[in-house]
Chain A
Amino acid sequence: MSQPTAICPNCGAQIRFRWSSAIQTTCEYCKSILVRHDVNLVKVGQVADLPPDISPIQIGTEGVYRDTAFQVIGRIIYSHDVGAWNEWHLMFSNGSSGWLSDAQAEYAVSFISAPDSPLPGPADVYRGWEFVQQGVHLAVTALTEASYEGVEGELPFQYWDKVKCQFADLRSNDGRFATIDYTEAPPLLFLGEFVEFESLRMVNLKEFEGWTS
């Protein structure tokens, strides 16, 4: 796959895009958040050093989900008042993109999904609210007010200017999973499922001193 390249407007380092639809990336060297306008990159902000790594996954990790190979190309780190989690941006070999969320090593793969029926507003959603999407019966199990702890790599959105974001996590009776993301209006819906770490057959993982996977 040919990868578009560009130059960081801040430090001049070469920026490689792994995913042709990426809108935002982060310079690996100077941590500038870069937003793509056609082929030109504009620096819109800078991330602080990322907090201590909490995941065996990293940019460049490769794996397989439902017989389709993927590569991890981006990451958003969210934190909320009692914890933190990662959303890893996946690029699949068939050109689609999705998310691998990693909350305390509980893994779920999800894809953006057009809601079958209107979603409640951020003030109207509550724990226990039920929803049917593509035949999957879901109920809200967690409402989370999160903030951005950091971003890394290529992302399909411009996330640099969002500070607070509200999420509603939904679960089903059979391991399905959904998230309502209230950072946009109307809110975005992501639908997916929980996965076992082993089932993703990931390579190029981080290693942990003193542990074997």
Chain B
Amino acid sequence: MNPGVRKIVPKPKALNCPNCGSAIELRAMGAATTVVCSYCSSTLDAANPQLVILQKWQSQMTVQPLIPLGSRGNLFGAVWEAIGFQQRGITVDGTDYFWREYVLFNPFKGFRYLSEYENHWSFVTPLPSIPVPGVNNYNRPTMTLDGVVYNHFQSAQATTSFVIGEFPWQVRVGEVVGTADYVLPPRMLSAETTVNEVNWSRGEYVEGAAIWAAFQLPNAAPAANGVYSSQPAPVENRPGRPWKLFLIFAALLMGMMIFFSARARQETVLDQTYTYQPVGAGEKSFVTPPFELRGDSANLQVDVTGAELQNEWAFISMALINEQTGEAFDFGRQISFYSGTDGGESWTEDNRSDSATLPSIPGGRYYLRIEPESESNYVKPTPIKYNVKLVRDVPFYLRYFVGLLLLLVPLVFMGRKGANFEALRWTESDYGVPPAAAVWKSDNSSGDDDDE
């Protein structure tokens, strides 16, 4: 052979089926080993130029491929031609489950496969490496490849029930292989085992719409049924995702808190110590000199402190009165301090300071009317000293904590939804329940979403 001469491999040649005489197109240019006649379903030896019949009758069943053989599509960075199609099935507890596989061919990149089950699709690439077996925390088998751990989902015997088109190996109806699937959505590792051979592949979940777009198939992709073993959980159901959202919103809240705290003026408009004479006649109430509350509307923090209280209490009634409008905001604070010994042990009950925050006080000139009272009005001659401090526009932290609590509410529901999604995923596995079954089983015990 002269290496300088360009050799062009011609397009598929037309041959005739030796069984029924129909035209057969060989698309893989010799790469395929088996071709199945589209008309009479005879299995032919594609490597033999005379197309020897390998298997004449398969079942009467006919399965129409959703991707017509011969169509080309761009998937995962390369153009692939669908050249073969088979249906395989497994039997679990007396029930048959069928899925379909398409052989994709590119003369340079070789073969890939598309599998379809209940309109869930996977793009399957043969793996050169063999994964490392192990066991997970739930005592279920795992396979590790490139540092990624996949959890065992199902092992079964898969039987080919229908074949059409070309295959890189001699496939026959009735061919049985052992299968084992290990999942880490959206990926799945699969082993196909015969006595003398094991072949590993990695499938990647693909939305039906992406298949339809790639192969330019008519109409819309049929909606997928149920949850597929390697189907990624919808974004809001993904385990860990709600917590991420929670953390993002919590961080936003904290940011707002820091921002508004920094902006708060925290202006002291009154800081005065008064003495209350419990004994004696006369009006106990008095008013403070007027003070200015600046800004449109802001809160006002009132701190009442009785640093020298001794086994006594005092209740300070207050009214914040607008000098112009006469509008009054009434409130009161109690302060107390008690101590003693009880059975040789000393104790104290220290409530010497208390505070209140009045929300949304409009700006303007105000004064405070104060009326103290105490038990010692009648029995205690000593005066009570107390301090009243008014601070305009203080940071208000409670609302942020309430916000955090409210953020937790959807988290509970989303966590439950995510758990249900995982429960549905694992329904068809060998285990029936997700790996964290002990946790999720109780969560799903109501069974209201369990429609499989």
Contact = CB atoms under 8 A, between A and B. Distances in A.
Interface of A: 28, 51-54, 56, 58-61, 79, 81-84, 104-106, 108, 127-128, 139, 141-144, 152-153, 171-175, 177, 194, 197, 204, 206-211, 213
Given A58-B1, A142-B198, A207 B109 contact: no
B8 interface: yes
B7 interface: yes
Contacts of B421: none
A211 B108 contact: yes
Contacts of B168: 83, 104
Nearest to B11: A209
A208 B129 contact: no
B316 interface: no
Given A206-B8, A207-B8, A209-B11, A106 B30 contact: no
A52, A127, A143 interface centre (most CB from chain B within 10 Å) = A52
Contact of A106 (B49, B126, B145): B126
B111 A104 contact: yes
Instruction: Indicate the size class of the contact surface on chain B.
Output: 35 or more
A144 B132 CA distance: 23
B110 interface: yes
B170 A82 contact: yes
A91 B1 CA distance: 17
B80 to A, nearest CB: 11
B195 interface: yes
B108 to A, nearest CB: 5
Given A59-B1, A105-B31, A197 B109 contact: yes
B110 A104 contact: yes
The 8 closest A-B pairs by CB, nearest first: A60-B3, A105-B110, A52-B30, A194-B128, A143-B196, A142-B197, A82-B170, A82-B169
B30 A53 contact: yes
Contact of B196 (A127, A208, A209): A127
B9 A208 contact: yes
Interface of B: 1-4, 6-11, 29-31, 33, 47, 49, 79, 106-111, 126, 128-132, 145, 168-170, 195-200
Contact of B130 (A143, A171, A204): A171
Nearest to B170: A82
A106 B1 contact: no
Contacts, number: 116
A144 B198 CA distance: 12
A61 B11 CA distance: 21
A206 B128 CA distance: 24
Contacts of A209: 8-11
Nearest to B4: A60
A4 B9 CA distance: 31
A158 to B, nearest CB: 21
Nearest to A126: B196
A36 B30 CA distance: 32
Contacts of A211: 79, 106-108
Contacts of A84: 33, 47
B30 A54 contact: yes
5 contacts: A60-B1, A83-B169, A127-B197, A175-B129, A209-B8
Contact of A54 (B8, B29, B106, B199): B29
B29 A53 contact: yes
A52 B9 CA distance: 9
Contacts of B198: 127-128, 141-142
Contacts of A54: 29-31
B9, B47, B110 interface centre (most CB from chain A within 10 Å) = B9
Contacts of A143: 196-197
A51 to B, nearest CB: 6
Given A53-B9, A173-B145, 10 more contacts: A56-B108, A83-B170, A104-B168, A105-B108, A139-B130, A142-B199, A144-B197, A206-B8, A207-B8, A209-B8
B170 A141 contact: no
Contacts of B132: 173
Given A28-B1, A83-B33, A106-B128, A207 B10 contact: no
